[in-house]
Structure formats: structure tokens, C-alpha cells
Amino acid sequence: MTMQRTFSIIKPDAFAKGAIGDILRMIEASGLKIIATKTLRMTKSQAEGFYAVHKERSFFGELVTFMSSGPVVVSVLEGDNAVLRYRDLMGPTDSTKAAPNTIRGTHGTNIERNAVHGSDSPENAVIEINYFFPESELRALLG
């Protein structure tokens, strides 16, 4: 057993099309536990900071504009091997290549508008969770 946490964003495209409920249901049905969740709208600078590793990529500007274009749902997920399990549940980055039973296959549109984000490693999960859920906030919530 590797009990782990991972970080999830339900992106503005999924929020706008009314897919929040179904995506949270798919997460819970997979056996991952949603231990914290909230709705927010990222500022451009918050999105730039979150995706700083991609800042040299050609799609960075578009990505920041997209991620700050509307509300998102950020969550902390917990479970055995949560990072990999959530990545499997999401499917590949490019929604057009994702299997129909994955979140991106069901709710994504293309490589940018891909419905969800999930951490790519346990180390990045810690960084990403801290970015949106300060230690004190999680402690107050979870005890």
C-alpha cells in the first residue's frame, strides 16, 4: 500500500459544460477519496505560477488564458497509489486519444481543453496541493 495524495483541477471547459458532478462521481467511483474540494477562478498570475514549468512552451499564453477564463474546481484526492490511478482515470493529455471510459475521453475536447489536470508525480502533488490548499487551511478542514 502506498497511501498517497494527488491534486486535481476540473478545468473551465468542463465547468462551463456542466460536467463537474459527473467528473466528481467518476473520481469517487474509481475508489479515490475526495478529501478537500473548492471552486475558484484563477487569476492570470496564479495560472502562470501554477504552470511555470511550461513557460517556454508555445502554448503557454493560450493555456494561461484558458485556465483563467472561468471557474475551476480544485481538489485533493487520496488513496493507494493515487497519483498513477488518477492519471489512468483522466486518460492521455490529448482528449482525442483518450479512451471513452476516461474523464478526458468522456468530457475533454482536444489537447488544451482536456477537462482535468492531475499531478504527474507524488513530489509535484505536494507542491500543487500547497499551491491551492495552504497547510493551515487543510489542517483546519481535516483536523
Choice from 109, 112, 122, 126 touching ligand CMP (CB under 6 A): 112
By CB under 6 A, tell whether 93 contacts ligand CMP: yes
Per DSSP, helices labelled H in the chain are 12-16, 20-29, 44-50, 60-67, 82-90, 103-107, 122-132, 135-142
The least CB distance from residue 104 to ligand CMP, in Å, is 9
The C-alpha cell that represents 69 in the structure block: 477564463
Query: Given 15, 104, 117, 129, which residue is catalytic?
Result: 117
Strand 3-10 versus strand 116-118 pairing type: antiparallel
Is residue 54 part of the annotated active site? The answer reads no
* Region of 24-32, 75-83, 112-120, 128-136 interacting with ligand CMP (CB under 6 A): 112-120
Please give the distance of CA 102 from its chain centroid, rounded to a whole number.
Answer: 14
**Least distance to ligand CMP, CB of residue 31, Å:** 21
Catalytic residues: 117
